[in-house]
Structure 1
Amino acid sequence: MSFDTGNTGFMLVATSLVMLMTPGLAFFYGGLVSKKGVLTIMMQSFVSLGITTVLWFTVGYSLCFSGDVFGIIGNLDYAFLHGITMMDTLSPTNNIPLIVFISYQMMFAVITPALITGAFAERVRFKAYVIFQVLWLLLVYFPFTHMVWGGGLFAQWGVLDFAGGIVVHATAGMAALASVFFVGKRAERVTEPHSIPLIALGTALLWFGWYGFNAGSELRVDGVTALAFLNTDVAASFAAVVWLAIDWKMTGKPKFVGMLTGAVAGLATITPAAGYVGTGTAAIIGCIASVVCYLAIGLKNRFGWDDALDVWGVHGMGGITGVILLGIFASTKVNPGGADGLIYGGTQFFLVEVGAVVIAAVYAFIISYGMLTIIDKFTPVRIDANEQLTGVDAAMHGENAYLM
């Protein structure tokens, strides 16, 4: 069988774009923290490229996409990619190489645990983080990937998640909140980012990579691919403008960081719905994303939760909101392969979407908190106050981003 070279080429580009999002996240987070913690937060993103790839090759892909055990996880038939050849196709109806799909899904696995790190910036020891990342992938990310995209329980319920509202953002966001509660507050709370240009660079890379994240999730080039691409940009743009307007009204100044944060909120929120709603709906979703995420961050500040880089408020609440809005606005007129949402009579679909995202959120929170508790009994999780004050980069890695 000959491969579809056009679709294969597109998916290789999409895979590269999703890979670029992890360095983009590193720059985004790096600009938001203090000068003394830049390398630590960036290292936590970059190390996922290595660790997650090793885990994906050994057992990850197989646990996500091979077999089915109680609808929750796959089996180990494809461990170490056993039996997979370069001539295998993804499916009878999609003749791109299976190894391209494996690579594409691997990049999703790479960035998801890295998202969590912004919540506990400058407070978690590197050794503990590495252990947490491995366990979190095994116990949270791989099961939900299987349940939603690997033919597991949620897929059997009829749950849809175009590019990761449940699998990526809801799980990572709630894990982030759990980690905030576990590690507590920073010894020295940074209120201003140390480098707004780094934040802008990171946002640009994330936004650019998100086209591969969302449009690539169609796994071929067709009308839905183009729709997801456009919806991604529309939602991000509307969200950025709405956030800018809200921030301007509340602070009296048009804040650049606020606008960039709004764009990321819009990107996270449109992710589960990108290929299932029309462009007008994507604009509405972008507007709602900014309002919900802005209010979530305000709630976090009111309660004094030290989610340093607003992972729960932006990614967690963005992902959850996007899944709920998908349950409301999805239309088979837009994508015949999707479903009809609540406003089109799809009450059952709406309920399974809400049920799935609630289960994912609660499970990710409980398991993440439990893992950190257990890890802390074997190796300290929290960086002590003195090391935080003197500089976590020097304490953890013996390096500094800037000459002091």
Structure 2
Amino acid sequence: MYKYFAKLFGCLILFGISSSAYSQVPGRATELDTGRIMESIPLAFSEVPYFTYGQGLGIMAPDSLFAMNIRFRMQNRAGFTFQEDQATQIEARVRRLRLRFDGFVYNPRLSYVLQLSFTRGDMDWENTEFPNIVRDAMIFYRLTNKLVLGFGQTKLPGNRQRVNSSGDLQFVDRSIVNATLNVDRDFGLQAAYTDRLINNFHYVLRGAVSTGEGRNILATDGGLAYTGRVEILPFGMFERFGDYFEGDLIREKTPKLSIGVTSSLNRNTLRTGGQIGTFLYERTDMDTYMTDWFLKYRGFAFASELLYRTSPNALTFNPEGDMRYVYTGLGQNYQASYIFFNNVEVAGRYTQLAPRSQIDELEPLVQHYTVGVTKYLKGHRVKVQTDLTYEDRQFVNPSNNFNNWQLRFQVELGI
């Protein structure tokens, strides 16, 4: 028992982490945003709460002892998959529907983020078999201007595309690399430390100690997950935290670059993706390593990610001989875009997902070639998106190879 507390304490001191829910980007209110808004309101002698209408609906108690910001968003999607000699597959659904609350209690240093989801896919119904509506439930405490601690459930500091909100994407959805190899949400302790080395050279240290089982799952074992991330910004901070939303909507006046490196070690976990996926027949360890680059300048944006996962025992079996396995392999994702002055953006993406070692005969090498167009009506909060993908799947046995076309259309609306 003591060794876990020692590891937990050491990880917090060495790394530090913050959740993606704490990231401050345009259209995403945080506990600090709420505090700044409320501090600007004169405190008159009144028993009526104060209201603001900036990013969502803000409410502050007359005695200034608590503040809350309320937001919602939805993504309505239609998709079509075309494959030779097969009927067209149609997807038509509310992909995401979420309600979010954030603010502070008693002191702006003590803040919270709560996010609920209400669609079947968002609730992970297929894997958990219950309405898993709680996505984020975090309590933050800002120790200093540079160090923030958090306790609760939210995203781990993984690859940038996963940490970015799904409402801040320039394509209809994230890549298949992210869907397969990311470390997702988990419950635990988190912290983040931000500082500057020289001149405009900034860095961020993030770290987490978590259950390793995913959101709202009751762990039955002492295994934990240890995640650490380093981000460096050699040319200075992005305008309005633009390193955490896709597309250069701000039109950075000087080149801005962020480089991230993440390592996540998940011990004795029971799911095929650690924090996500179906349940394995036996517990196993898995290590995930990630790096990402993000560049923006005058409407142009380029992003790349490499994710690699290994496991000493990727294959698990039940007494009847059925098998479930950890996806081990390398994923690569590259995307570039340009936004015109009429707020229409064109983007291209190449994605490759390649299985390794124990599962290369079970999974194909998958490649996606995607082009997309987005019309931003109110930044990422109100937008219309469409993208077209050519998918190529290559198996060890070439006779099983196939390809298809995927066309998707989506409308996002939120406050």
Bigger relative CO (Cα 8 Å, ≥ 6 apart): 1
| Higher-Rg member (1/2) | 2
Greater share of helix residues, 1 or 2? 1
